[in-house]
Amino acid sequence: MANINISSPFIRAFTHADATAGVAAAELLAAAVTPERRIIVIVQNKSTSASIQVILAATGSVGIYVPPLGNISLDNYNGAVRVIASAAATSVHIAYATA
């Protein structure tokens, strides 16, 4: 008989939300509150023309560049997620799973 050890929890479901980002940084997801632990966070740029910057901090105005129709995923990230777009009313999707 095999013995399988799992180091992280299995993902049972994702929480999904659409948001609109503008040219000023806005919080899409607040920092997780203990005891909640996020297993994965995915941010998708749904725009076909505008880029976004994903800011992984509660402050600041510069983040990770995500091109049109691109995405970024982060394992075990429990901090705030903020977004700033290159154009007003840019559609963004966020999904995350918790343990």
CATH number at residue 24: 2.60.120.770
pLDDT band at 1 (very low <50, low <70, confident <90, very high): low
Average pLDDT for 79-89: 97
Token pair for residue 48? 């076909």
Q: Is residue 8 part of a domain?
A: no
What average pLDDT does range 50-61 have in this prediction? Answer: 96
Residue 6, in any domain of the structure: no
Return the pLDDT at 13.
Answer: 93
Domain-located, residue 70: yes
Number of domains into which the chain is organized: 1
User: Where in the sequence is the domain holding 26, given as residue range(s)?
Assistant: 15-98
Residue 30 CB burial class (10 angstroms; 0-12, 13-18, ≥19): exposed
Q: How far is CA 76 from CA 6, 19, 40, 64, 79, in A?
A: 15, 22, 6, 17, 9
The reported pLDDT for the residue numbered 99 is 85
